[in-house]
Amino acid sequence: MCYSALDAGKRFRPILTLTVGEMFGANRALLPFACAIELIHCYSLIHDDLPPLDNDDFRRGKLSCHKRFGEAIALLAGDALLTEAFFVMSDPGVARLLGAPLISDLVREVSGAAGIRGMISGQSTELELGKRKVTTTVLEGLDRLKTGALITTAARVGAMIGRASRKDLDRVTRYGQSLGLAFQITDDILDAHEVSSNNSNHKGITNYLSVAGPAKARERVQALLAECLREVEPYGKAAEPLREIARYVAQRTE
Q: Which stretch in 8-16, 89-97, 143-151, 201-209 sits in contact with a copy of itself by CB under 8 A?
A: 89-97
Eight-state DSSP code of residue 57: S
C-beta neighbour count of 69 within 10 angstroms: 16
Within 8 A by CB and 6+ apart from 237, the residues are none
Distance CA 54, CA 206 (A): 13
Among 6, 27, 61, 101, binds a copy of itself (CB under 8 A): 101
28 binds a copy of itself (CB under 8 A): no
- Restricted to residues 38-57, the positions that interact with a copy of itself (CB under 8 A) are 43, 47, 50-53
Among 10, 62, 117, 230, binds a copy of itself (CB under 8 A): 117
| CB 33, CB 161: distance < 8 Å | yes
Site string for a copy of itself, 123-152 (x = CB under 8 A): xx--x-------------------------
Among 84, 140, 143, 187, binds a copy of itself (CB under 8 A): 84
C-beta neighbour count of 247 within 10 angstroms: 13
Q: Give least dist CB 72 to a copy of itself, A.
A: 4
Instruction: Indicate the helix (H) or strand (E) that contains 172.
Output: helix 166-197
2 binds a copy of itself (CB under 8 A): no
Among 8, 72, 196, 237, binds a copy of itself (CB under 8 A): 72
Q: Give least dist CB 126 to a copy of itself, A.
A: 10
Instruction: Indicate the helix (H) or strand (E) that contains 58.
Output: strand 58-59
Eight-state DSSP code of residue 131: T
83 binds a copy of itself (CB under 8 A): yes
251 phi/psi in degrees, rounded to 5? -95, -5
Residue 207 is which amino acid? N
Eight-state DSSP code of residue 90: T
| CB 189, CB 217: distance < 8 Å | yes
153 binds a copy of itself (CB under 8 A): no
Which chain residues interact with a copy of itself by CB under 8 A? 1, 43, 47, 50-53, 70-76, 78-80, 82-84, 86-87, 89-92, 95, 99-101, 103-105, 107-108, 110-112, 114-117, 120, 123-124, 127
